[in-house]
Amino acid sequence: MRVGFPHFGNVYIPVKAMTRRLGAADGEVIIPPPITQRTLDLGVKYSPQEACLPYKLTLGSLIEACELGADTLIQARGTGICRLGYYAKGQEQMLQDLGYNAHFLTLDVSHNKFISIMRLIRDMSNNIPWREIIPAFFFGIGKLFALDKIEKVVQKVRAVEVEKGTASRIYREAINAVDEATESKEVKEITKEYIHKVIQVPKDPVADPLKVGIVGEIYVVIEPFANMDIEVELGKLGIEVERTMTLSRWIKYSLFLNYLGVDEWREVHKLAGPYIDHDIGGDGWESVGEKVLYAHEGFDGVIHLAPFTCMPEIVAENIMTSTKEDIPVLAVTCDEQQSKQGMLTHLEAFVDLIGFRRRKREHGRRV
């Protein structure tokens, strides 16, 4: 069995760590190459035209995994409300048409997530005992937590660093270092070391950066290729970015705390309540609530990332136009037609707008 899975943010890092720990033979787990223009082109070519970007990118990524010899593919599935439930159906058919005889294993990401992930690992690992699987699993996700922790600092520093690009460079080094680490202790040390490095980056002492929150559909929010590296671009423009949605948060809650009755979105859902009080699939409900949250927290703006034709996010966008919390929202449509230049133009105009609003507000207060 040669297992492949689609590239999605840093997911490959824990998978790699885990398979090494469990002593998988070479080639038993195929790490998908990072998403490139080629991945996108493949996905676009073989997807229905109006499929959402995450569908196209994961299809492209799975094709690349098949090219590397994968014969078993993992794809997310949800009995949730969105198209996710359709991914495996459509993609399996397409891969067969292309002549890859790959078998799909789906991972239920809407119910009993912890159990379904554990089962999947066990099914694939030829019945390695639980006492080996569980520590390997924690070692793997420990890496994700480490990276997200470093990234949080990077998001702040990017906005105020003197030499643009330094923090991002250090972050890339950190990803590699964490990826290489073989012990949990080592991961912890690396985390400390790199956070320190990022904090040490020379900064503009008087900068008081504008702050924006990023909301939207999970795949395009987390995978930098899908959002054209919007966080890095915002950093270049001197904007501090915050984003609630991270892989480690998803894992922390979906796999553990939800079982204890903790709902990470309770607060956000409550804030969305006056406008929408029920789930609409995908991440639409959360997007509305997070807009309200960022407005309450005094952010200068919100960037809403939505794949083209994404149903839940279109609902969210329509609702967001008229919440009484007044905070500028820039909707960015993510699809293969969007040019980076076009996005940058929109970003710059948006930054001007929120900068103007902040100045007006501060001025107003002084008078």
Residue 283 Ramachandran class (φ > 0 left, ψ -120 to 50 alpha, else beta): alpha
User: If DSSP codes are grouped into helix, strand and coil, which group holds residue 302?
Assistant: strand
Q: Which among ligand SF4, other proteins, none contacts residue 315 (Cβ within 5 to 8 A by kind)?
A: other proteins
Binding to other proteins (CB under 8 A) within 50-89 occurs at: 50-52, 55, 79-83, 85-86, 89
Nearer to ligand SF4 (CB atom), residue 3 or residue 84: 84
Beta carbons of 303 and 212 less than 8 angstroms apart: yes
Q: How far apart are CA 15 and CA 26, in angstroms?
A: 14
Q: Which one, of 3, 5, 6, lies nearest residue 22 by Cα?
A: 3
User: If DSSP codes are grouped into helix, strand and coil, which group holds residue 361?
Assistant: helix
Task: Give the CA radius of gyration of the chain.
Answer: 21
**307 binds ligand SF4, rule: CB under 6 A:** yes
What lies within 8 Å, CB to CB, of 206 at 6+ separation is none
- Nearest distance in Å: CB 276, ligand SF4: 15
Q: Which among other proteins, ligand SF4, none contacts residue 257 (Cβ within 5 to 8 A by kind)?
A: none
Residue 57 structure tokens: 């990118």
Q: Which among other proteins, ligand SF4, none contacts residue 308 (Cβ within 5 to 8 A by kind)?
A: other proteins
**43 binds ligand SF4, rule: CB under 6 A:** no
Which residue is associated with the tokens 């760590």?
17
Residue 307 structure tokens: 């794949």
Q: Which helix (H) or strand (E) holds 324?
A: none
- Nearest distance in Å: CB 110, ligand SF4: 12
Selected from 4, 9, 32, 54, the binder of ligand SF4 by CB under 6 A is 54
Per-position x/- string for 328-347, each x denoting binding to other proteins as judged by CB under 8 A, each - no binding:
---x-x--------------
**310 binds ligand SF4, rule: CB under 6 A:** yes
Q: Which among other proteins, ligand SF4, none contacts residue 217 (Cβ within 5 to 8 A by kind)?
A: ligand SF4
Nearer to ligand SF4 (CB atom), residue 300 or residue 335: 335
Nearer to ligand SF4 (CB atom), residue 145 or residue 285: 285
